[in-house]
Amino acid sequence: MAVSSSLPVIRERRTGPEQADLDKCVHCGLCLNACPTYRELGLEMDSPRGRIYQMNQVANGDAITPEYIRHLDLCLACRGCESACPSGVPYGRLIEAARAELKAREKPGWRARQTQRIIFDQLLPSRTGLQLAGAALYAYQASGLQRLLRASGLLTVFGKLGDLEALAPNAEVPFFYSRIGKTFLAMGERRYRVAFLAGCIANIAFARLNDATVHVLRRNGCEVVIPGAQTCCGALHLHTGLREKAKGLARRNVEACAGEFDAVITNAAGCGSTLKEYDELLEGDREYSEQALRFKAKVKDVTEFLAGIELNRSMGPVEVVATYQDSCHLAHGQKIRTAPRKLLKAIPGLIFREMPLADVCCGSAGIYNILQNEMAMQILQHKMANINGTKAALIVTANPGCILQLAAGARLFGTGQRVAHVVQVLDEAYRNYETNFGRA
């Protein structure tokens, strides 16, 4: 089936927040303490209730002011408020629609248009573009230039750019691209056939995480297909208000995973949230709306999938004290909290210690830590204080973006803790078993 970006659409949601969604807020304030920006600033206008109030004002004719834009920009879209809200306010939908409205009215200058075109049109959806960027990053890191610059303190001269360097991912060669389009057989009896969506940036910066995911799935009786036609999920496009571009990517992924699969697996909570909302994104799309519903029914976070099947318990010990940071898009977006904890507690030798406020955002939030670096670092510093209190040597989470943010936190405000995804710890346990007893 041909993919077209100009498909006929029967019904299209208006760009701004729906009045019915705004009206669900009864102004009770029960969400305030779940909001990282309100916790940091103590300002009503930087709380969920305050932001909903401002969206309401705009929906009812008030002008869009720079203050309104600033309060919305400062929101992490972490959806912590959605979990705390007893009235079922769909805050994630509200902020996405409010940002799409701002984007539609924006008249960006030439430079902003070019930057946006390069990142969202050419880089994220393009394997070649990401591979080139990954190669440049790898050269910077492997040549020792990064180590030299960090040790010399020269990065402070670059101001904001220097701050951002601390958040750069490590390029992991070989990149994961060589596995795309391939099928990996189950180890032992085949119980499931799954499609794995490997992400976009993850293919260069999280190749080892993707390899670990494939290995853990295979050790649990999965034949793992990595569809060749997959592309970026569109989450970053949606967070930036580029809804139409996200729809094009959604159509490509729905087609790529149209085969006979028991599940479509992702190891990135942020991507998973978006993939599970493709039905909303493609609602009214004559050609893709039904396919999107079928696709959504199969999407599973890797922790959700593994916790829902009979887990292969042939694991060797991983002797470490570990704590778990909820990824917002897993805990608040997908309501998955127990699955990752259940998996960690199944690993022999691992001592699990819960941290306070584990489900408050770490400040990563897609590219928030790049765009709102100062607030992201403030939030991270408080997060690390809670983590340091557990004395855990390993911080586990379920989203690549959170791994980068927490690794920066461990380096800047922590005790040099190791940071890993849940499946990487499981992978370690399976490999420890294999080293001692061979495969089982």
78 part of the interface to ligand SF4, by CB under 6 A: yes
DSSP output for 162-224: HHHHTTPPPP-SSPGGGGTT-EEPPSSS--EEEEE---STHHHH-HHHHHHHHHHHHHTTEEE
User: Are 197 and 263 a contacting pair, CB within 8 Å?
Assistant: no
91 part of the interface to ligand SF4, by CB under 6 A: yes
Q: Which is nearer to ligand SF4, 25 or 167 (CB)?
A: 25
User: Are 398 and 421 a contacting pair, CB within 8 Å?
Assistant: yes
Q: How far apart are CA 299 and CA 193, in angstroms?
A: 13
CB of 82 to ligand SF4, least distance (A): 7
76 part of the interface to ligand SF4, by CB under 6 A: yes
Q: Which is nearer to ligand SF4, 79 or 252 (CB)?
A: 79
Q: Which is nearer to ligand SF4, 347 or 358 (CB)?
A: 358
Phi and psi angles of residue 93, each rounded to the nearest 5 degrees, phi first = -65, -40
CB of 360 to ligand SF4, least distance (A): 9
Tell me the pairing of strands 222-225 and 183-184: antiparallel
CB of 218 to ligand SF4, least distance (A): 36
| Tokens 């586990």, located at residue | 396
CB of 355 to ligand SF4, least distance (A): 18
Contact pattern from residue 108 through residue 147 relative to ligand SF4, giving x for each residue in contact according to CB under 6 A and a dash for the rest: ----------------------------------------
Cite the DSSP H helix spans in 311-421. Answer: 328-331, 338-345, 368-371, 373-390, 400-412
Binding span for ligand SF4 by CB under 6 A among 86-94, 156-164, 367-375, 388-396: 86-94
87 part of the interface to ligand SF4, by CB under 6 A: yes
Give the helix/strand (H/E) hosting 60. none
36 part of the interface to ligand SF4, by CB under 6 A: yes
CB of 369 to ligand SF4, least distance (A): 13
CB count, 10 Å around CB of 3?
Answer: 16
241 part of the interface to ligand SF4, by CB under 6 A: no
49 part of the interface to ligand SF4, by CB under 6 A: yes
Q: Which residues bind ligand SF4 (CB under 6 A)?
A: 25-31, 34-37, 48-49, 51-52, 75-81, 84-85, 87, 89, 91
